[in-house]
Amino acid sequence: MTVEYESHGLPLDAYQLSPADRRRQGAAEDIAAWVERQAAKSPPLSAEQFRQVQELF
């Protein structure tokens, strides 16, 4: 049994982001920026704390 497929152009050729896509992307960028600011403010981890974090991941 042979299956044939037709191509109708590139799947994402004319795709435009929706307003919801833009909101989600903006929210993700805002969260990433907030995390970077918080990490910059926090004191460095001790060796033991670093080991504990590594175990979590």
**Residue 33: predicted pLDDT:** 97
Residues 42 and 47: their CA atoms lie apart, in Å, by 15
Q: Which two tokens stand for residue 40?
A: 């910059």
Q: Which amino acid is at 9?
A: G
Q: Which residues contact 17 (CB under 8 A, 6 or more apart)?
A: 25
Q: Which two tokens stand for residue 45?
A: 């981890």
Q: Which residues contact 15 (CB under 8 A, 6 or more apart)?
A: none
Residues 7 and 25: their CA atoms lie apart, in Å, by 30
pLDDT in tens, 32-45: 999 999 999 999 99
**Residue 21: predicted pLDDT:** 94
pLDDT in tens, 1-18: 788 888 777 776 677 889
